[in-house]
Amino acid sequence: MTDFDGTSMAVLHGWMSALFGPRVNEHALGGITWADLSLSCAVVILVMAANGFAAVVVRRKRRRAAPAGKHSVFGVIGGPLYLSIWICGGYFALAPLVTPAQSSQGTAVVLEILDKVFNLGVFAALFWFCFRFTGVLEARLSAWAGRTGGRLDDLFVPLLGRGLRVTLPVVAVIFALPILGLPPAYAGVAAKGSSVLLIVAVTLVLFQAVKTAQQALLLRFDITAADNLKARAMYTQVHVIGRVVYVGIGLFAVACILMLFQQVRHVGTSLLASAGIMGIIAGVAGQKTLANLIAGFQIALSQPIRQDDVVIVEGEWGRIEEITLSYVVVHIWDDRRLILPLTYFVEKPFQNWTRSSAQLLGSVFVWVDYSFPIDEGRKALERIIEASPLWDRRFWNLQVTDATEKTMQLRVLATSADSSKSWDLRCEIREKLIAFIQEHHPRSLPMVRAQLLAEEVPAAAGWHEARAAGSTS
């Protein structure tokens, strides 16, 4: 902003003398004349009038923009516009009070401060308007995305709004630094600080972009569905690779920040000079971490396990609850959590009951006496399985799979949609089949037979009589 020079003030004083007489050029306060005070008051009155006129126009336009309300341009322009009017008016009102003594060194400093305050004030008003306008833009885009009916728009429109809200303040700080005119010693520190803020802002925007991309990739997959094999595969790949991308972005951001400082670069050069020793130490110390990282990529690509898979590990039945960059959390059936490193699922054998499908073939074993009628038991089992909602109508069977000197073994096979239903179906079959045997063929329960020879019968009877007599006496 260019201040008033001596020629301009002389012209203004001449006009004031012609209008109000020579006495207006007399000093009222120090070097300030009545003409200077009159000019300042006139500017203040003009500013008040301009602010009132702007307020009326903005309110009228805002009413016409209803129901958009605060999400319209006139809904956000009011505050920044009023601030700009008062900043410009304040500058022009104070300038006549300072320029009469412009020859003094103190007045020059005051004028310089006044110029910087004016520039910063105008910049603040412009930044305020841009920051509020991003909200209007986001609201308009959100309304447009709601009308399109697509789900991708609902994800990427908020990403645009968050990105603008994060980067705009940092860009404002970078542009405001030259206006301040800081000394070189402080200007370097401020420039590096603004560069760090810019790197952090870009990193946050990239984090949000990765998160939005993950949500966009998973839109077509419902992991809560009954047949969720493809959904679990996609969830595992997206989450594991997403975490790797997060780490990569974070490391790159830290590296960029460190490279801004010359001292850190010197430390890095010194460390690289002893790269042999440091390489060996880092290799030994990071062996496990690197192995888990590689195992994470293997799991994401080949997928021996996926999110929500049913597995048997370390003799425990559970579901894959979480897959991180270093370990896997298995939710055990009794609500315990088994924590295993990623390398476990690459190096050791384990059971995956939902590798290609969630459907299972369950088995139930029952031991009965040789007198049990198999055909009748098969018909009873058919009634039990057909009436159960846990059976998926694919297959069932009853066979004698073993025989000992005392009992024979019955094996029941029945299919179900998943492991939880298979467990409940097996328990139901076992309970109802045993109840059928108890009710209709109690003599077919497992028993131990004994045979007495003819010559042993009298001796056994005498022994029982002697025992009875002893008990009565």
87, 121 contact by CB (below 8 A): yes
Q: Are 276 and 364 found together in one domain?
A: no
- Within a domain: 214: no
pLDDT tens digits for range 338-383? 999 888 888 888 988 887 777 888 899 999 999 999 999 999 999 9
What is the CATH classification number for the domain harbouring 421? 3.30.70.100
Which residues pair with residue 337 across a beta bridge?
331
Compute the distance between CA of residue 137 and CA of residue 202 in angstroms, rounded to an integer.
Answer: 20
Q: Would you give the DSSP letter of residue 311? A: E
Structure tokens at 120: 């910063």
The pLDDT, as a whole number, for residue 3 is: 45
> What is residue 272's predicted lDDT score, i.e. its pLDDT?
47
Task: Give the residue-averaged pLDDT of 221-232.
Answer: 68
Which residues on neighbouring strands pair with residue 458, listed in sequence order? none
> 346 and 379, same structural domain?
no
> Tokens at residue 222, please?
């419902």
Ranges of beta strands (E only) in 26-105 are 27-29, 32-33
Residues 345 and 373 in one domain: no
Q: How confident is the model at residue 284 (pLDDT cuts 50, 70, 90)?
A: very low
Residues 312 and 333 in one domain: yes
Closest CA to 135 of 84, 82, 81, 76: 76
377/317 same-domain check: no
What is the chain's alpha carbon radius of gyration, rounded to the nearest angstrom? 43
* β-pair partners for 33: 27
Portion of the chain with pLDDT greater than 70, in percent: 60
pLDDT for position 282: 46
Q: What CATH number is associated with residue 297?
A: 2.30.30.60
pLDDT for 269 beyond 60:
no
The two beta strands, 337-341 and 327-332, are: antiparallel
- pLDDT tens for each residue of 37-81: 777 777 778 878 887 777 777 777 777 765 554 556 666 677 777
Which residue carries 């590296």 as its tokens? 255
Collapsing DSSP states into helix, strand and coil, what is residue 395?
A: strand
Instruction: Give the pairing type, strands 351-352 and 337-341.
Output: unpaired
Average pLDDT of the residues in 201-221: 80
Q: Mean pLDDT over all residues of the chain?
A: 74
H helix runs in 149-261, sequence order: 151-180, 184-217, 229-258
Bond preceding residue 442 cis, omega within 30 of 0: no
Co-location of 295 and 376 in the same domain = no
Q: Say yes or no to pLDDT of 13 above 70.
A: no
Contacts of 400 (CB under 8 A, 6+ apart): 374, 408, 409, 410, 411
Q: Residue 102: which pLDDT band, with cuts at 50, 70 and 90? A: very low
Residue that is last in its domain, among 105, 133, 148: 148
Residues 4 and 84 in one domain: yes
The answer on 144 and 39 residing in a single domain is yes
CA distance 37 to 27: 10
Closest CA relative to residue 239, chosen from 337, 151, 306, 140: 306
pLDDT of residue 23: 55
Who has greater pLDDT, 473 or 182?
Answer: 182
CA-based angle 318:321:323, to the nearest 5? Answer: 120
Torsions phi, psi for 451 (to 5 deg): -120, 130
pLDDT for residue 292: 66
Supply the range of the domain harboring residue 377.
360-444
Q: Is residue 230 part of a domain?
A: no
Tell me the per-residue pLDDT of 420-467, one tens digit each, with 9 for 90 and over. 889 899 999 999 999 999 999 988 888 877 666 655 555 555 655 655
> Of all residues in the chain, what percent carry a pLDDT higher than 90?
16
Identify the domain boundary among 325, 352, 379. Answer: 352
Residues 346 and 370 in one domain: no
For the chain, the helix, strand and coil percentages under 3-state DSSP, each to the nearest 5:
65, 15, 20
What pLDDT, on the 0 to 100 scale, is given for residue 377? 92
Amino acid at 118: F
Among 15-29, 30-44, 141-155, whose mean pLDDT is lowest? 15-29
Q: Does residue 229 fall inside a structural domain?
A: no
Residue 379 is predicted with a pLDDT of 92
Of 252-266, 282-296, 422-436, minimum mean pLDDT range: 282-296
- The per-residue pLDDT for 323 is 84
**What is the model's pLDDT at position 330?**
93
Confidence (pLDDT) at 353: 83
What does the longest C-alpha to C-alpha distance in the chain come to?
159
> Domain for residue 198, yes or no?
no
Q: Quote the crossing angle between the two packed helices 6-20 and 34-64, to the nearest 10°.
A: 100
Query: 69 — alpha (psi -120 to 50), left (phi > 0) or beta?
Result: left
Number of structural domains found in the chain? 3
CA 45 to chain centre: 54
Say whether both 107 and 240 belong to one domain: no
199 vs 256: CA distance, rounded Å: 8
